[in-house]
Amino acid sequence: MTRIAPLLAAALAAAPTLAGAQALTVKGSDTMVILAQRWAEAWMKQNPSKKVQVTGGGSGTGIAALINGTTDIANSSRAIKASETARIRDRFSVLPTETAVARDGVAFYVHESNPVEQLTVAQLKAIYVGDVTNWKEVGGKDAPIVLYSRENSSGTYVFVKETVLGNEDYAASAQTLPGTAAVVNAVAREAKGIGYGGAAYAKGVKELKVVGKDGQGHLPNAENVKSGAYPLSRPLFMYTRGKPRGDAKAFIDYCLSPEGQAVVTQVGYFPVR
């Protein structure tokens, strides 16, 4: 039993790592990064002794950080995968907890000079898998389509692949850009371009109407997203290892409060409450 002494000594040496307040880390979805930063600023104003660090990198990056223990909260614009849940369970002996904190309409943007006003989901799929390569095939000018997409660590990339492309691969010609802001910037400069991202980011570009189940084209605005008329809407999530506790719980509670949900609307997304 004396051999257990080194084991106990090692455990005691680790004790400082278990104690002590540190900044709350929030990492992940680029779709949510501006929203999360606004929440963080407002929450820190109410709680001056608390610190929140918000970074992007994509939903996949955030969930990977949750698995590695390098973030407290993972922002994600897609649902966590079964394999990721299993990895968190194996590593931390606990299941991840999912909290929907906002809703987002995934918008498809074109240049403001593009005469195309609306597309069906089938047409969007045909464009992004490379079956349609000229704007004239969808009612536009005779010009080649320039595709902009996101990196595969992006939840928006995954959402579009699953919901629009039916899990088919993106066209090889699609240019990969790091973040929705970069996509918007590229489309704003390229008259033949098309890109996608959170509706809140659409500045200087034209959002396309997408034809819903009623056969009508709908913009990704609050009314259409809430009613479900806009077919490409999704919840935005925060994930924690196990039930949210301590500062993580307090922060998420703030995000879901009336004040926090008002921030959602200000940023351009849609509240869940």
Partner 1 sequence: MNARSIAAIAALALAPAAIHAQEPARDLAGDVDTVTGRVDAAAEKLAELETTVKGLTKLKFSGYVQGRFTDGEKAVFHTRSDLDKEGFYVRRGRLKAVYDAGDAQAVIQLDATGSGVSLKEAYAQLKLPWELTLQAGQLPLPFGYEVGVVSSAHLDLLERSSVVRKLLAGEYDRGVALAWSRGPLSAKAGLYNGNGVEGGANDNDNLKDVIGRVAYDLGVVNVGLSGWYGTLRVYNTVGTLEAGDYDRTRLGLDVQAYLDLLPVGGTAIKAEYLQGKTILGKTATDADLVKLKAGIPQMGWYALVSQTLGKRDAVAVRYDYYDENTDLDDGEAGAKATGTLALAWHHWFGGNLKASVLYEIPTQVKGPDGFEDPDDDALTFQLQASF
- Determine, following the binding rule CB under 8 A, whether residue 12 of this chain makes contact with partner 1: no
Q: What is the DSSP letter of 20?
A: S
Residues 6+ apart with CB under 8 A from 156: 29, 30, 31, 59, 77, 78, 106, 150, 180, 196, 197, 198
The amino acid occupying position 120 is: T
- Determine, following the binding rule CB under 8 A, whether residue 18 of this chain makes contact with partner 1: yes
- Which of 189, 192, 120, 201 lies closest to 154 in space, CA to CA? 201
Using CB under 8 A, count the residues that bind partner 1.
27
- Determine, following the binding rule CB under 8 A, whether residue 23 of this chain makes contact with partner 1: no
Single out the residue of 172, 213, 214, 258 in contact with partner 1 (rule: CB under 8 A). Answer: 172
202/183 Cα distance (integer angstroms): 10
Nearer to partner 1, 116 or 171 (CB): 171
Tokens of 147: 């595709």
The amino acid occupying position 181 is: A
Nearer to partner 1, 11 or 143 (CB): 11
201/129 Cα distance (integer angstroms): 24
- Determine, following the binding rule CB under 8 A, whether residue 67 of this chain makes contact with partner 1: yes
Tokens of 16: 């400082």
- Determine, following the binding rule CB under 8 A, whether residue 11 of this chain makes contact with partner 1: yes
| Binding-residue pattern over the window 212 to 251 for partner 1, x denoting contact by CB under 8 A | -----------------------------xxx-xx-----
- Closest approach of partner 1 to the CB of residue 157, in Å: 14
Where along the sequence are the contacts to partner 1 (CB under 8 A)?
A: 3-4, 6-7, 10-11, 14, 17-18, 67-70, 85, 89-95, 172, 241-243, 245-246
